[in-house]
Amino acid sequence: MDIKGKVAFVTGGATGIGLAIARSFAARGCKIMLADINADLLTNAEQELRSSGADATSVICDVSDAAAVQQAAETTIDRFGKVHIVVNNAGVGIGGRPGQTPLEDWRWIVDINLMGVVHGVEVFTPLMQAHGEGGYFVNTASMAGHVTDRGMPPYYATKFAVVGYSEALKHDLARSDIGVSVLCPAWVQTNIHKSRLASPTGPSSEAELENDRGFHAMKQVVENGLPTALVGDWTADCVEANRFYIFTHPEMQQYIDQRHELIKADYAACAADMRLNEALS
């Protein structure tokens, strides 16, 4: 896909991976609408892009609110006339143990990480289809959408959902000439480790958050992660190459392979069971 001259709408665009993708798209000639819930950071990001010569503007948007996404889309159409690329990037990360995770936190992370993507797709798909010039969705998931560990079931659940949803979209939207990529990074230098500050049952201050040992462990791996600029450039490369899965950490392949080996082993047990074979014959 040639992204030069296209209009891109980027959620979570005020900082982190979202802003890095916006920078990379703008450098390749995209017009940019930044969307974020943080007004101050959003203003700074817009000013930065504009000072670099980009045709960019911004809109405050809470992706968990379908009406807010609809309003942001209308604002984008009023400004640019159409939208070609939607980067459903806004996301948060919280952990929790089974039986100990407040349902308010579950609803919060699902509304942002999963429904935020759904809202972007449901609102913008008809707009892309209407102009007939094709389009593209980039949905930010994570390596946590492919492999799991202990301590973050809510996060894993939402990211697996985004991967599966994106795989389905790829088939459904192809007939409309709308491409799809799912971005699956591992650790990147963002502020995702501070997400609990905004969660319904989270700490009331960063000082309180600092007392959590789990926070320091996550902070360390995040701060040693990939630079956001590299992830932004790689994402733009993959969109232009029409790659569906956008992976960022080659060393993580071993964990995907381990998961696939487990799936194949258990499927082999299914295939070898004569009761199942006889029932299906």
What pLDDT band is residue 221 in, cutting at 50, 70 and 90? very high
Lowest mean pLDDT across 65-74, 106-115, 202-211: 202-211
Q: What is the pLDDT of residues 57-73, one digit of tens each?
A: 999 999 999 999 999 99
In percent, the amount of the chain with pLDDT more than 70 equals 100
Query: Which pLDDT does position 69 carry in this prediction?
Result: 98
155, 156, 165, 267: which is the annotated catalytic residue?
A: 155
Q: What's the Cα-to-Cα distance from 115 to each of 100, 129, 224, rounded to whole Å?
A: 23, 21, 29
Q: What is the pLDDT of residue 103?
A: 97
Please compute the mean of the pLDDT values over residues 243-263 and round it to a whole number: 97
| % residues pLDDT > 90 (the chain) | 90
**148-195 per-position pLDDT tens digit:** 999 999 999 999 999 999 999 999 999 999 999 999 999 999 999 999
Tokens of 253: 């392949």
* Structure confidence at residue 216 (pLDDT): 81
Within the chain, strands assigned E span: 7-11, 31-36, 56-60, 85-88, 135-140, 178-184, 245-247
pLDDT of residue 206: 82
What value does the mean pLDDT take over residues 92-115? 96
155 included as an active-site residue: yes
Q: Does the CA dihedral 75-79-83-85 come out positive or negative?
A: negative
Contact 15, 191 (CB under 8 A): yes
- What pTM was computed for the model? 0.95
Length of the chain measured in residues:
281
276: Cβ contacts below 8 Å, ≥ 6 apart: 270
Report which residue type is found at 181: S
Q: Is the pLDDT of residue 212 over 80?
A: no
Q: Look at residue 93 and tell me whether its pLDDT is greater than 90.
A: yes
Average predicted confidence (pLDDT) for the chain? 96
Question: How many Cα atoms are found within 13 Å in the side-chain-facing hemisphere of 260?
Answer: 5
For the structural domain made of 7-248, what CATH number should be given? 3.40.50.720
pLDDT in tens, 256-266: 999 999 999 99
Is 214's pLDDT higher than 80?
Answer: no
Q: Is the pLDDT of residue 281 over 90?
A: no
